Amino acid sequence: MRFYGTEIASPLLLGTAQYPSPAILQAAIEASGTEVVTVSLRRETADGSGAGFFDVLRQTGCRLLPNTAGCHSAQEAVTTARMARDLFDTDWIKLEVIGHSDTLQPDVFALVEAARVLLEDGFKVFPYTTDDLVVGEKLLDAGCEVLMPWGAPIGSGQGLRNPDALRSMRAHFPEVPLVVDAGIGRPSDATQAMERGMDAILLNTAVAKAGDPVGMARAMALAVEAGRAGFRADPMDRRAMAVPSTPILGLAELA
């Protein structure tokens, strides 16, 4: 798996918010085996306060993926991304432009606009988007090399609300890295996403708010690996009727 030319081995990306303590966060990152962690600019301020949290993340050796969480306009997202680049010294940015306060659904129009501006400014944009194929096309046309469709609303833990749409995205964008971002609540959700051909999963709340965040981080890592292996093994199609595993031909006939 490559993101903008950078090879990433682990198919699990981990958020860093809402953990009970920095020590538990660090242990969960280690248990997950992730190589990429997301961080909000709101964890750090322009004057450098909050550097202790940044130090914890640097100690993990993971690559930082700053995000524009909480932004509700293209201009706000672009400004936040530029501040994050200066603070975290990376041109990677997870682009979020929220359009609905209850569902936290992306404003796809502002998302495409902001992505175009940031890509022209030298950023490598990871857009948090819906599972709409047209929006995906627009983001790719703007220059994005990865898409991050939601599985369900952020923090809801609902799993995959529209698995068929994710399957369609995989078929429509066969060469584009697809990362399910938001909505994963249980390891089985992560497995299902990977079985549908997704390249990676990005999650936060499911681990941070678990009774045992470290144990859940490990469980998610195993689930993602199982789903990826299952997809590569080319699973059988679902059938409407039963099919005997033992052929009838050749069975003994008892009078």
Residues that constitute the known binding site for 1-deoxy-D-xylulose 5-phosphate: 155, 182-183, 204-205
- Note if 94 is an active site residue: yes
Residues that constitute the known binding site: 155, 182-183, 204-205
Largest CA-CA distance found in the chain, in angstroms, rounded: 90
Three-state DSSP state, 63? strand
> Helices marked H in the chain — which ranges?
22-32, 51-60, 74-88, 108-120, 133-142, 163-172, 187-195, 205-208, 213-232
Closest CA to 207 of 52, 14, 2: 14
Return the number of other C-beta atoms located less than 10 Å from residue 35's C-beta.
19
Residue 70 · residue 104 · CB < 8 Å? no
Residue 145 · residue 124 · CB < 8 Å? yes
* Backbone dihedral region for residue 54 (phi beyond 0: left; psi -120 to 50: alpha; all else: beta): alpha
Residue found under tokens 């940015």: 93
* Backbone dihedral region for residue 46 (phi beyond 0: left; psi -120 to 50: alpha; all else: beta): alpha
Residue 66 · residue 38 · CB < 8 Å? yes
Catalytic residue among 94, 124, 138, 209: 94
Separation CA 78–CA 161 (nearest Å): 29
* Active centre residues (catalytic): 94
